[in-house]
A and B are shown apart, each in its own frame.
Chain A
Amino acid sequence: MRICKNEMRMGALSLAVSSALAVMFAAPMSVYAEESWEDEVATIRHPTNYIELGAESVSKDSAKFGEYNGLNEKGGKAIVNFSVRGGDAYEGGDGITRWSLAGKDLGTTSRELGVALGKQGRWNLKVGYDELRHNITDTYQTPLQGIMGGNVFTLPPSFEAFNAQSATSARVLTANQLGAFHTEDVGTTRKNTSMAAGINLSPELSLKFDYNHLAQSGAKLIAGAARGGEAVPGTATTWRAEAVAMLMNPTNYKTDTFNLSLNWVGESGHLTGGYFGSLFKDGYDRLSYENPMMTAAATPVPGVFQTTTLGTAPDNQLHQLNLSGGYAFSPATKLAGGISYGRNTQNTAFLAGMPETVLAPQASLDGLVVTKHADAKLTNRTTQALTLSATLKYNERDNRSSSNVYQYYAINNVTAVDSSANAPYSNKKSELELAGDYRLGKSQTVRLAYDLEKITRQCGDYALASNCLVDTDNTENKLGVKYRVKASGDLGLNVGYSIAKRKGGYDNNAITPLGGLDANSLTRVNSQDYVGFVAVPYAARTQNVLKAGADWQASEKLNFSAEGRYANTKYDSTYGVKDGKTWGVNLDATYNYSEDGSVSTYLSQNRREQSMTIKQNNAAIVASATAIGVPANSSWTNDLKEDGVSLGLNAKQGGLMAGKLELGGDLTYSLDKTGYETQQNYAGATTGGLTCSSPNILSCGVLPDIKSRLITFKLTGIYALDQASKVSVGYMFQQLKSDDYAYNAFQYGFTSSRLMPTNQTSGSYAVNVIGASYIYSFK
């Protein structure tokens, strides 16, 4: 056996190195010692101000990369950030004045600027500006003419009707049509201007006010569908149905938001009364466009129009009064709660003279929704070991808008006039939450919680003599237990389990707006849902959730944590979503190996599964499917699987080069996949040997995964030139690989039968950004 024995030896070399390092590090300290402690304290007392100026360069245009960060265009951007603070409050005397001026990202469209002034404990005033450009796509193409952000789009005069009817192979755009397509950068810009003020009227009483003006411009993409009026080649009939075009829906919005509150704080109680107002205005009342799938020369039939009009978001207002407060009956027993009353109105004039509207009984909705809220929570620390709480909550949405029957032309192939009654949906939700936390000694805690939630839904004023919705009410009981233990001073463990059972009430006689005015057949409800099908948010279900976690603080420097979650949900519905499962694991480790350095890493993995069963509508199956013997009451299934994994590694090291250099690195990787599989479930059916891939109605099988992989790598280095000046250098590489079959439909060369292509892509990119800046700091 060989024993290795290392001894500390101080040779001439090591002595010299040690001495040199000691002097190098001691030298600045000795200079520091020159200052008086008063100077040092004054230095510490004053805030650190800074101005950062520099430039950064983006390697490629990418709307997706620059979705929110303002770096969507290739080329240079200025780096401008600053923060300056001052006032006699920082002098250490009796002064209480503070002011600040700060700007962030001023060189991009994500810029932000703020000014604040106040006398602490007396009053304060803030003014801010915040801009955000949301870049949605830079690959969208359209033949429609009109500016992004506008609301009228027309076709070039020579644009002939898009051939949406003939066989797939002939379903191509002509050279003339292709020539009309042009690319638009689509996005919205939000500009927030805000003001906030507060004044302390007395030690107990304060008044706060804030105001925000949000001005939004630009557009988002939306689909517009209309009757395609093109004559079917070789026949005397007119093409039947929906013609879809992707449009730039303008977001010419302005939202003004107000908050005013009066706060009282006493020895044992506190109370806040306030007003919240939100006023929304839309600069446009419509979006109109020429339907690329018909021409003015097409045979006019009822409900077919070359110019199609979509409504835009109507102006609306919300005014809400709020009162909340708390009272401590004793240090152990406290009550907190609040009430709110709101009026949400909307009375924008309906679009008049629209050919698709046959009958509009009112000129506007004159809509009113009254919202009510109340909550009360009583907490009691019965003993040092036991804490109990009981909470009651009530929320109501009372839609008092009138209900009438409207007549209109739908966009399907029915030339007859359709009728529906609008349904002003209301609901009332009550919740009871009871919880008890019991400490077993110093290290263990058990929490037992019970929640009861009941919601009822109805229409206060419905034009038809029936319910306006099928899913009338739900009641859910939930019981949960959680155990936590501090296994040692450094190790904490927890495990929790909950079970929730939800019941539902349903009215299959309800006549909903989707179903027109016809009474249900009692085999089909809510516009042809089969009886037995229940929408997933309202379906009766049993949900079991198990959670566990561990946190180990191995030392002041080293921490590990792990947590997992599993949930299983079973729905009672005959059709619809039948069951769902989720599980997830998170692992983290952080090592702060010195005051200047740390490394951390994490891994998150999640999976979600869900399966649906849908009853087959045999009557609607085309003859070819009927011919292969699809039996009555068959069904089909669809399974969802979603996987996500996310990895991160972060490292920081300061104190390099005699404390002048700080380095940071960050690497993240995430991969998300969503997949759907559809299977036919023809019990005992004879399918004649046809499979999912057969050219028939058997539209089943596995869809390509919707997959996105994002890699981000960042490096930063900050070098201190002297006590006041630093140079910062940063590099970022980000790559998104996105595969999404949804974009197939938008490509040239092939579209679905009635969908105008846009050539839009899912936004994959690989972008490098490099930047350098000079940071000047001062006190």
Chain B
Amino acid sequence: MKQARQMLLSACVGMLLVSGAAFGADEPAIAGDTTVAPAKAPAKDLILKGDAKCTGCHDEADEPIGRATMLELNPGVLAIATTRHGVKGDERTPTCTDCHGESKDHINFKGKGKEKPPAPDRSFRKITATPAAERNAACLTCHKGDKRTHWEGSQHAANDVACNSCHKVHAEHDPVRNKKTQAEVCFTCHKNERADTHKISTHPLAAGKMGCSDCHNAHGSAGPKLLKKNTLNETCFTCHAEKRGPFLWEHQPVTEDCSSCHTPHGSNITPLLKSRAPFMCSECHDGPHNSDVPYGTVAAGIQGGYANPNMNPTENATGRGCMNCHSMVHGSNHPAGALLHR
């Protein structure tokens, strides 16, 4: 044991020596030496117009290294430079205080040591005293109209969802604006939908080929469930235009509401069906077939447990059930397709 301790001690001393050799040659006595006068950050803007008041003050107050400490304390904040909000040449680009408020108490704070200044006027942190509506107002000052027309009174607005609940304004890559990572952001609140995407039948969300925003407008819409289009069907037909028709022979619920049969976020019944035929069809059609014979275990077929060789499952119930024959459930344009057979 003693030998082991000695070996470890030697290794550490060795590491110290090697480290010193590696870095000592080029290194002025700054690292770890807080007594040396630091290279102070000039009080000039780093990224945004007028940001010096935010980025250049901490060095004198509480940080030992004594630099433009926003760089060290939270360089992620300055990543806003890589976003549209960081383009100074665009006259619309906000300054720090446009979003965070003038924050005089914060700026004039004279605390020492570990004392923390009061939060800015508008704080966008996870735990914040700034109400969601006030935070949102800062964003909506510029981001109004178009896709945010219906924000006021929308489901998200009414539930105190703030823009920064979903968006990372300072980040180089905002996860909610990337198809591959967007769903995870939405799943923070929409947990049933998260569970649905693990089912056997889904849209390609998990593969990152689709985002929630392909169907929904989280900023408010005139449609149901924050759908992008005015109706559910219009939204579905954006990608599934072959089902739009109008067909010669229409299936009435298809013309009114795709969700009569389908559930969009995931299902145990392929393809995204709410239930399995023939039972799903029985929810709307009593006859002519269904009331004749109840579909029980025979629907499973002999291999499903019904071992009577004289009873074969009818094609009304096995496989695709009703859709074995009524395969044109979305509508038919065949003159002989009245029963959605062709």
Contact = CB atoms under 8 A, between A and B. Distances in A.
Contacts of B20: 23
User: Interface on chain A toward B: helix, strand, loop, or mixed SS?
Assistant: strand
Interface string B320-342: 11011101100011111111011
B61 interface: no
A742 B276 contact: yes
A699 B158 contact: no
A325 B152 CA distance: 12
B237 A695 contact: no
Given A244-B324, A354-B336, A616 B294 contact: yes
Given A513-B338, A744-B301, A620 B19 contact: no
A336 B150 contact: yes
B269 interface: yes
Interface in B236-274: 237-239, 241-250, 252-253, 255-257, 260, 268-269
A610 B283 CA distance: 10
B152 to A, nearest CB: 4
A581 interface: no
Nearest to A361: B335
A346 B335 contact: no
Interface stretch (B80-88, B95-103, B104-112, B114-122): B80-88
A98 B87 contact: yes
Given A422-B338, A745-B301, A745-B313, A324 B255 contact: no
Contacts of A680: 294
Interface in A730-779: 736, 738, 741-747, 750, 752-755, 763
A281 B194 CA distance: 35
Question: Residue among B41, B256, B290, B294 with the most chain A CB within 10 A?
Answer: B294
Contact of A410 (B145, B301, B308, B341): B341
Nearest to A282: B242
A93 interface: yes
A490 to B, nearest CB: 7
Interface in B1-44: 5, 8-9, 11-13, 15-16, 19-20, 22-23, 26-27, 30-32, 39, 41-42
Given A614-B291, A676-B279, A367 B245 contact: yes
Interface string B269-312: 10000011001001111111011111111111111111011111
A69 B204 CA distance: 8
A670 B198 contact: yes
Contacts of A699: 293-299
A754 B315 contact: yes
Interface in A318-375: 318, 324-326, 334, 336-338, 340, 344, 346, 348, 350-351, 354, 356-360, 365, 367-369, 371, 373, 375
A346 B246 contact: yes
Contacts of B195: 586, 604, 606, 644, 646, 670
A314 interface: yes
A92 B88 contact: yes
Interface stretch (A140-148, A152-160, A220-228, A498-506): A220-228
Contacts, number: 526
Contact of B242 (A20, A253, A423, A604): A253
A632 interface: no
Contacts of B305: 704
A29 B252 CA distance: 69
Question: Residue among B5, B39, B191, B342 with the most chain A CB within 10 A?
Answer: B342
A703 B199 contact: no
Given A89-B87, A397-B256, A553-B126, A30 B299 contact: no
B153 interface: yes
Nearest to A29: B31
Given A344-B245, A344-B246, A702-B297, A16 B12 contact: yes
B145 A646 contact: no
Given A577-B283, A640-B279, A704-B304, A48 B172 contact: yes
A753 B334 contact: no
Contact of B149 (A17, A89, A338, A606): A338
Interface string B178-201: 001000000000011011001110
A24 interface: yes
B323 A223 contact: yes
Contacts of A278: 237-238, 241, 244
B245 A314 contact: yes
A24 B15 contact: yes
A447 B158 contact: yes
Contacts of B26: 31, 34
Contacts of A542: none
B139 interface: no
A171 to B, nearest CB: 7
B249 A513 contact: yes
B192 A584 contact: yes
B327 A223 contact: yes
Interface string A48-91: 10000000000000000001110000000000000001001110
A735 to B, nearest CB: 12
B240 to A, nearest CB: 9
A616 B87 contact: no
Nearest to A643: B268
B222 to A, nearest CB: 4
A382 B333 CA distance: 54
Contacts of A96: 87, 89-90
B250 A270 contact: no
A238 interface: no
B169 interface: no
A536 B245 CA distance: 24
Given A313-B243, A410-B341, A736-B200, A752 B191 contact: no
Contacts of A397: 255-256
B222 A365 contact: no
A338 B191 contact: no
A271 interface: yes
B73 to A, nearest CB: 12
Contact of A31 (B23, B79, B207): B23
A151 B128 CA distance: 61
Contacts of A435: 153, 158
Given A120-B87, A223-B323, A614 B246 contact: no
A614 B293 CA distance: 10
Contact of A745 (B16, B247, B293, B319): B319
A766 B335 CA distance: 46
A290 to B, nearest CB: 15
B67 interface: yes
Contacts of A695: 308, 310-311
Given A33-B30, A44-B82, 13 more contacts: A22-B32, A30-B27, A37-B41, A104-B208, A120-B84, A270-B144, A311-B333, A314-B245, A346-B247, A365-B247, A527-B287, A703-B297, A750-B303
Sorted nearest first, the 6 A-B pairs with minimum C-beta distance are A528-B287, A270-B145, A408-B336, A30-B31, A311-B334, A745-B318
7 contacts: A223-B320, A244-B315, A357-B334, A537-B256, A604-B192, A706-B276, A710-B198
